[in-house]
Chains A and B, each alone.
Chain A
Amino acid sequence: MSQAPAVYLDHASGQPLHPAAREVLEQATGRAYADPRRLHRPAREARLLLDNARAVVAECLGVRPDEVTFTPSGTHAVHLGVLGLLAGRARQGNLLLASSVEHSAVLHAGAWHAARSGRFETVPVDRHGRVSPAAVTAAVARHGEPAVVAVQAANHEVGVLQPVNEVAALVEVPVFVDACASAGRLPLPSGWAAAAASAHKWGGPAGVGVLLVRRSARWRNPFPGDERADERTIGFENVPGALAAAAALRASIEEHDRAPHKLAEVHTSLTSLLADAVESIPDTEVFLAPDGRLPHIVAFSCLYVDGEALVTELDRLGFAVASGSACTASSLEPSHVLTAMGALTHGNVRVSLGRDTLPAHVHRLAEVLPDVVERLRAETGVPR
């Protein structure tokens, strides 16, 4: 039996390669192979292309080219950003304060820091998953003046935007911003000292992260380091990957903001439509934060339904979605994001749209979801 091609609705995990990136990747792979640190002509070519990629990314993100470092992954950019700011502040203090809904890359960096005699504390969030400036003030009162504060630009599981500008204005210490979930879709917030992004989340290739460090920031390499074209990162430069990432970033930003079919507006309306459909299913919670959210993400949880069963059934029907429920994770722990929000952690689904998502796909999902949830609930024997 042949299956219909899956409707891919997990763009927040990874985007298909943008056509603009595919073209650049093919061309650059043949041209940018040499070591950009050498003096010969192929090396100068590789160096030129790497600098081009850096310039494009800087322009797209509104920073200076010398503030941009390409890393082997978004996770590595996060680790370098968080730990590098902490290393730069070692004489002032060792407390890392982060929102409790940061990506696990930030939490792992915090745990690593704590295992090396540093301190790591988290700031609680509200029901929407948003950290408030007041909560940051309370955390500072409880734990003392932090050396570094980490706040994501937007949450990767529920899409809520965080008040980075307000927090940065409040704390007067270096702020690290994980912008992996929003870069390429929304402009960066302001007030940060270091930030990180990940190319495969905006349609670039996997294996390309971006670390941004402000010129004014005191940053020290927390790792052994290397002797590359850019002293902040390690390993042989992935020049074709960086170029493809830059092309995809430029294209993504244009598509999200270009009239008359601004992708951000199309996605906002489609995720709102899906949220309304889910709201009409009894005993469900939809996580669609008011006052600022990512346009392309909508997450929800359904009482009495097993998250794995929900994802499997939707996959059978041709929809590829993600889940934050414990049964779909590698551990038994439920999503730390949903837990911090006090939200229902089982029966969870995250739907995330991309440039190739058709309205008909979302309409169809909105149509089938009530039946799928009802069918799975019927098996539980819960009185209705």
Chain B
Amino acid sequence: MTDPVDHLELDCRGLLCPRPIIELAKAIVDVAVGGTVAVVADDPAARVDVQAWCRMRGQEYAGSQVTAAGVPTYLVRRVN
């Protein structure tokens, strides 16, 4: 087991839901509490489902931005 990191970026371009959410759930344990995971995902369902996942799993949704290439990126902060 590697030491937790402060930030991870997941390239989920081309993946359809629920795959980006599955990748998010796998990656969250690799960041420290207080750290963040950025989910880069072009599936329109990810916009809703990342936030729903945060609500259901008690993590913090920290907003979205768009990459230089125009792909939405959703930021999740680990709080537990």
Q: Give chain A's interface residues, CB within 8 Å of chain B.
A: 283, 285, 301, 303-306, 325-327, 332-334, 338-339, 342-347, 380-383
Q: Nearest chain A CB to B23's CB is how many angstroms away?
A: 9
Of B5-13, B32-40, B46-54, B66-74, which binds chain A? B46-54
Q: Which residue of A lies closest to B45 (CB)?
A: A334
Could you tell me which B residues sit within 8 Å of A by CB distance? Answer: 16-18, 21-22, 25-26, 29, 43-45, 48-49, 51-53, 55-57
A303-B21, A304-B18 given; A383·B26 CB < 8 A: yes
Given A285-B52, A342-B52, A327:B16 Cβ within 8 A: yes
B16, B26, B56: the one within 8 Å of A344 (CB): B56
Q: How far is the CA of A332 from the CA of B22 in the complex (A)?
A: 18
CB neighbours (8 Å) of A346 from chain B are 17-18, 21, 45, 49
Instruction: Give Cα distance in the complex from A339 to B45, angstroms.
Output: 8
Asked if A342 and B48 make an inter-chain contact with CB atoms under 8 angstroms apart, the answer reads yes
Residue on B nearest A333 in the bound complex, by CB: B44
4 smallest CB-CB distances across A and B, nearest first, come from A344-B52, A346-B18, A334-B45, A346-B17
Residues on B with C-beta less than 8 A from A303 are 18, 21, 25, 53, 56-57
A334-B53 contact in complex given A345-B17, A346-B21, C-beta closer than 8 Å: no
Query: Among A283, A344, A382, which residue has its beta carbon within 8 angstroms of that of B49?
Result: A344
**Hey, which chain A residues are within 8 Å of B48, CB to CB?**
334, 338-339, 342-345
Given A326-B44, A344-B53, A346-B49, 16 other A-B contacts at CB below 8 A?
A: A285-B52, A303-B25, A303-B56, A326-B45, A332-B44, A334-B44, A334-B48, A342-B51, A342-B55, A344-B48, A344-B49, A345-B49, A345-B52, A346-B18, A347-B18, A382-B25
Chain A residues near B16: list those with CB within 8 A.
Answer: 326-327, 332
* In the complex, chain A residues whose CB is within 8 Å of the CB of B22: 304, 380-382
Q: Is the interface of B mostly helix, strand, loop or mixed?
A: helix
Contacting residues, chain B, for A325 (C-beta < 8 A)? 17, 45
Kindly identify which residue among A301, A304, A332, A338 contacts B43, using a CB–CB cutoff of 8 Å: A332
CB distance from A213 to the nearest CB of B (A): 37
B26: which A residues are within 8 A, CB to CB? 381-383
**Complex Cα distance A383/B48, Å?**
22
Is there an interface contact between B18 and A305, defined as CB atoms closer than 8 Å? yes
How close is B56's CB to chain A, nearest CB, in angstroms? Answer: 6
Nearest residue, chain A, Cβ from B52: A344
Residue of B nearest to A285 (CB): B56
**Chain A residues, Cβ within 8 Å of B51:** 342
- Chain B residues, Cβ within 8 Å of A306: 18
Residues of A within 8 A of B56 (CB): 283, 285, 303, 344
15 contacts between A and B (CB under 8 A): A283-B57, A303-B18, A303-B21, A303-B53, A304-B25, A306-B18, A325-B45, A326-B43, A332-B43, A332-B44, A345-B49, A346-B49, A380-B18, A381-B22, A382-B26
List the A residue with the shortest CB-CB distance to B20.
Answer: A346
Determine the distance from Cα of A156 to Cα of B42 in the docked complex, in whole angstroms.
Answer: 28
Partner pick for B17 among A327, A343, A381, A383, CB 8 A cutoff: A327
Complex Cα distance, B25 from A344, in Å, reads: 14
A345–B26 Cα distance when bound, in Å, is 19
Taking a contact as CB atoms closer than 8 A, the residue among B17, B25, B55 that contacts A334 in the complex is: B17
Chain B positions within 8 Å of A380 at CB level: 18, 22
Nearest-neighbor residue (CB-CB) of B29 within chain A: A383
Chain A CB within 10 Å — which of B21, B29, B57 has the most? B21
Across the interface, B52 reaches (CB within 8 A) one of A333, A343, A381, A383, namely A343
Residues of B with C-beta under 8 A to A332: 16, 43-45
